[in-house]
Amino acid sequence: MSQSETKGLSMLEGAAVPISALVLRCAIGGVLMGLANLVPGISGGTMLLAAGVYPSFIGAIAEVSTLRLRLRPLITLGVIAATAALAILSLAGAMKTLVIEQRWIMYSLFIGLTFGGVPLVWRLAKPATPALWAGAAAAFAAMCAMQFGLGGAGGGGSDPLLLGFSGLAGASAMILPGVSGGYLLLLLGQYEHILGAIDQVKLGLLGSNGSGMDISLVLGAMSVVIPVGIGVVIGIVGVSNLLRWLLRSQPKATLGVLLGLLFGAVVGLWPFQQPVAPQAGDVIKGRTLTLADLPEVDPEDWHLARFSPTAGQVGTSAALILVGFGATLLVSRIGGNQEEN
């Protein structure tokens, strides 16, 4: 077996650790994964890789999905899922607000966080081969076509099929190192929509005005949560098994695709754009707006327009890109040695 094949397989074969250590690693990885999937531009899979639990996670999904129920895989999935869900429920509202109101700042961070995943994937992919470059080029081209074909981020509708596909795409990306589930949701126009529904569930469960649980809020969000949840399950089970097979049979091409997806992910994250208040006659979600409709349009659905940044904004953006890049590398260093155990 070649060195590249050995590297690919090593992603799927975690060393045995005591249950207590496994739980701690999975808890850290789950929190990071949840935060990553609230942020367009950073990959949940990358965070699991950095936390040292990615091989255990992929292997656990593959085993459970084929009904091979053992204690360690069940603990791995349970702890990661619980802590990721806790992070998502706790921070969905805050992340949505930041993306809408401070878009150029957040996008600058997202670009840095995305590029921070490149060394992680390259470490597994090198030395380069024609298959690696071909996979990277194809994935990069697909991301560019997707970006320009869908007209960029923001303003998606609430069609159940699109929501289900968004859940599938987001979950698939969630377990691929270097691919951002949050970014794909942003690209599909469902990012703020889905985060808004998650925040609505949280408010319903905790009480929106300190008046106790509000079931009507929870039920109102189910038209979004249910199709997205179905897509998430299909995506996680399908892609984990497919990834395991591809890394075993075509490691270079598969890792090349991951690299291409990483670079392609920043195409739609140009930071210097901002939401523009709608005008009568604008078309949002397939509806031509009238003057009476304007106050009802949620800011998350406003169209985006590019603006000319000041020198200070350019400098701040560059600094934030470096901060995001460094943050991903730091997490990688913290957990990197665990992958070698």
pLDDT tens over the chain, length 341 residues: 455 455 444 444 444 567 777 788 788 888 878 877 776 556 677 677 666 677 788 878 878 887 888 888 899 889 999 999 898 888 877 777 787 778 888 888 878 877 877 887 787 788 889 999 999 999 888 877 766 654 444 444 567 777 888 788 777 766 676 666 666 776 677 776 777 787 778 777 776 555 667 777 778 788 788 888 888 888 888 887 887 788 778 888 888 887 887 787 777 778 888 888 888 888 775 568 888 888 878 776 787 788 889 999 999 999 999 998 887 777 666 544 444 43
Distance from chain centroid for Cα 161: 19
Q: What is the pLDDT of residue 211?
A: 62
283 located within any domain: no
Please choose, from the candidates 320, 319, 287, the residue with its C-alpha nearest in 3D space to the C-alpha of residue 301: 287
Q: Are 10 and 336 spatial neighbours (Cβ–Cβ below 8 Å)?
A: no
Q: Are 65 and 237 spatial neighbours (Cβ–Cβ below 8 Å)?
A: yes
302 located within any domain: no
Q: At what angle do helices 71-101 and 103-115 cross, to 10 degrees?
A: 140
Q: At what angle do helices 44-51 and 311-336 cross, to 10 degrees?
A: 40
284 located within any domain: no
The domain tally of the chain equals 1
Q: What is the pLDDT of residue 337?
A: 46
299 located within any domain: no
Local structure of 295: helix, strand or coil? helix
157 located within any domain: yes
How many whole angstroms separate alpha carbon 112 and alpha carbon 101? 19
Q: What is the pLDDT of residue 312?
A: 92
Local structure of 213: helix, strand or coil? coil
187 located within any domain: yes
User: What is the span of the domain harbouring residue 21?
Assistant: 3-272+308-340
Q: What is the pLDDT of residue 14?
A: 44
How many whole angstroms separate alpha carbon 262 and alpha carbon 193? 24
**Backbone φ and ψ of 293, nearest 5°:** -80, -25
Q: What is the pLDDT of residue 311?
A: 93
| Reported pTM | 0.64
Q: What is the pLDDT of residue 213?
A: 73
245 located within any domain: yes
280 located within any domain: no
251 burial type by CB count under 10 A (0-12 exposed, 13-18 middle, 19+ buried): buried
